[in-house]
Amino acid sequence: MPCRAGDSRASGRRVAQAARWRRPALWLAAGCLAVLAGCATQQTTDPGPPLDPARGRALITRLLPPATPEPAAWATDIYAAFAAMEIAPTPENICAVIAVTEQESGFRALPVVPNLAAITWREIDRRAERAGVPKLIVRAALAVPSPNGKSYSERIDAARTEGELSRIFEDFIGMVPMGQRLFAGWNPVRTGGPMQVSIAFAEQHAADKAYPYPVGDSLRREVFTRRGGMYFGIAHLLDYPAPYNTPLYRFADFNAGHYASRNAAFQNAVSTASGIPLALDGDLVLHGPEGAERPGSTELATRVLGKHLNLSDAAIRRALEQGTTQDFDRTQLYERVFALADPPGRPLPRAMLPNIRLQSPKITRKLTTAWFANRVNERYGRCRAREAA
């Protein structure tokens, strides 16, 4: 049996970072270590005896950063998310969640965004210009009273969190014709909550798996609560199988998208085999309407290897389109590219930090996915140190 980080559990789902030995088969895991390099962190198919809720919450509370506000409430919501998704509450998994949350919000359910009003006005002006609407007309539309009696302009100027801003845009889009023209039913607040999870991801995840809490006004608003923000943030971080033997790459995926680290390593292998430089960004095909009509740089470079891989352009395309799924590393394309690119006795890495510059109106510095992943990994290390202490 191949030694692969992230082998499936009996339930058919993999649990992230469950790096504990399967106790009844220690000799088998040790043998796997001797045969295959890189399997030092074996993801378990048997997480051991489950912690009861009281002990699970107590462990989470002990691992939270010092001075975390309302630690019992955070522990309750984290444990509940683990239980709902059948994710093992191991120290590894708990510390991964704690590290991301600490980095993203400092354990604040509605983190304050500096200069949020100025950022919002710039976004409104940008959209007005793109829609060909004069700025004066937009400002006049925003001066009308909103459902709470204050004008939209006043509410924007007073907004300090993304949750507040999201509600303003919901009102503006739903009640003012200008809102429909500028935003076409699309709320520009795209992330939220203590883990800054994508609202689009939350909506898709809830469509695939039942959300365990009653939904009030909308699922979007659930993301801005502590319970909803933690549930969907934990889902994005841990509720998918990943072939990594270190949490560093899962942290990168949290920022760049599922399997971005695996895909960046594949791009590196394509570049090594073909001699064609590629941006190691984890995107294997172009997205949007243009992606269906023309190949991107990774696809073109892979086509150069087509004869050596014994794969047609169409077969290459079909495999690359699986790049957002677990199945991509089981395709003939993936296996043959690495077989072609690996130097004798020195296999190329199967995971790499994607080289992506972070773009957001909230970001004022030159930051990258690698910076994010390494910062979270440092916090993860401090959490594991608390466990050891």
Each residue's pLDDT tens digit, 57-67: 999 999 999 99
pLDDT, residue 252, reads 98
What's the DSSP call for residue 357? B
Q: Does 1 score more than 50 pLDDT?
A: no
Q: CA-CA distance, 46 to 49, in Å (whole number)? A: 8
Q: Indicate whether 336 pLDDT > 50.
A: yes
Model confidence band, residue 366 (pLDDT cutoffs 50, 70, 90): confident
Q: Is the pLDDT of residue 206 over 60?
A: yes
Over range 361-386, report the average pLDDT.
88
What does the pLDDT read at residue 7? 32
For residue 282, pLDDT over 90 is answered with yes
Confidence of residue 305 (pLDDT cuts 50, 70, 90): very high
User: For every residue of 97-149, which 3-state class applies, written as one string?
Assistant: HHHHHHHHHCCCCCCECCCHHHHHHHHHHHHHHHHCCCHHHHHHHHCCECCCC
Across 287-298, average pLDDT: 77
From 66, 128, 121, 65, select the one nearest 97 (Cα to Cα). 65
Look over the chain and give the mean of its residue pLDDT values, rounded to a whole number: 83
| Predicted TM-score of the model (pTM) | 0.80
pLDDT exceeds 90 at position 169: no
Q: How far apart are CA 72 and CA 61, in angstroms?
A: 6
**Percentage of the chain exceeding pLDDT 90:** 60
Rounded mean pLDDT of 94-101? 98
Closest CA to 155 of 132, 121, 200: 121
Q: How many helices (H) and strands (E) does the chain have?
A: 20, 2
Give the model's pLDDT for residue 119: 84
Determine how many CB atoms are found less than 10 A away from the CB of residue 244.
23
pLDDT at residue 248 is higher than 70: yes
Lowest mean pLDDT among 4-13, 45-54, 319-328: 4-13
